[in-house]
Amino acid sequence: METMNQNPWFKVEISKVHENQTVESYLKSAWQFPKKLLHELRMAKGCKINGEAKPWNTVLKSGDLVEIQLFIEEDYGVTPQEQSIEICFEDEHLLVVNKPYGMDTHPNEKGQLNTLANGVAFHFQNKGLKTKVRHIHRLDKDTTGGVVFAKHSLSSAILDSMLSQRKIKRTYTAIVEGNVKLPKGTINEAIGRDRHHPTRRRVSPKGDKAITHYKKIKYISKLNVTVLECQLDTGRTHQIRVHLSFLGYPLVGDQLYGGKQKILNRQGLHASNVSLKHPFTDEIVSISIPFPKDIQQIINEK
């Protein structure tokens, strides 16, 4: 077993931007600590100033060293299961994994195995890291590509907030039937449940707001398919599948939404890039997620 040697304390020097704030207001404004986490941190004496636990109304000065206890041993929340997972990015705060075809992101019932989360739990266990498996978003079982996991509770809270504010940019590569005429476009159609089918969604004026932007990458005349790049302003269930089908260009292999072509045995959709401003380093991180072989073969066609 490889031990991760994760320092439980995250250290940061106070800059002039945050001087004259109290410890509590600094934790709320600079780190977006939710109330529950803030309470837990206070109870655990999980914040030190220049090496000492100080009252939370202490006023900070420029150059003060703040230490925040981020890494607390926790149960994984899912059963660790040995499986091969493809890691596209990892540091001490977050993990991005390439989810394969035919796999759930996380268990849908207690004790379920063979999900991406089970593999992530095994990866953590193998590195000697005891932390809850926290996915920030999900992908459909038959959609491949990048899934973001947080490696501690504060990272999870910040990334959840970033996702809801659309500050995590996810790019999808879609392979659709036919030749999409416009080089780019936006589909702004609300999506709701289809009352005639238990899992299907449909465009419905009474549904939830849903916006999909698409850009044409290439048309492959030999196969009569178009490769599109899509970005979402909202995260509705089956959003890209529903919107592109509504436009008249269903995803290749997506029988639920009208896909007739059999060149794939599932929908041609891959989450191909995740970009975000790193919540702890402020660096812009752009992670490309390799295509599975079946989609790569289609994209390679002339």
**Tokens matching residue 117:** 């989360």
Q: What is the pTM of this model?
A: 0.90
pLDDT for residue 4: 39
Same domain assignment for residues 201 and 154: no
- The chain-wide mean pLDDT, for the chain, equals 93
51 in a structural domain: yes
Does residue 275 form part of some domain?
Answer: no
- Phi, then psi, of 90 in degrees rounded to 5: -155, 135
Residues 161 and 189 in one domain: no
Do residue 105 and residue 155 come from a single domain? yes
Look at residue 297 and tell me if it is in a domain: no
Give the range of the structural domain holding residue 192, as residue numbers without chain letter. 171-270
Number of domains into which the chain is organized: 3
CATH code of the domain in which 18 resides:
3.10.290.10
Rounded Cα–Cα distance for residues 5 and 266 (Å) = 41
- The confidence band for 173, taking pLDDT boundaries of 50, 70 and 90, is very high
Is pLDDT at 37 greater than 90 in this prediction? Answer: no
Q: Where residue 135 sits, what CATH number does that domain have?
A: 3.30.2350.10
Considering the domain architecture, whether residues 106 and 150 belong to the same structural domain is answered as yes
Q: Would you state the pLDDT for residue 40?
A: 87
Domain limit, last residue, from 126, 141, 165:
165
* 48-101 confidence digits (pLDDT tens): 999 999 999 999 999 999 999 988 889 999 999 999 999 999 999 999 999 999
Same domain? For 140 and 229 the reply is no
On whether residue 290 sits in a domain, the answer given is no
Q: In which band, very low, low, confident or very high, does the pLDDT at 7 lie, cut at 50, 70 and 90?
A: low
Task: Give the per-residue pLDDT at 5.
Answer: 46
Domain boundary among 165, 198, 226: 165
Percent of the chain with pLDDT over 70: 98
48 plus 97 within the same structural domain: no
In a domain, 249, yes or no: yes
Active site residues: 140
pLDDT tens-place string over residues 185-219: 999 999 999 999 999 999 999 999 999 999 999 99
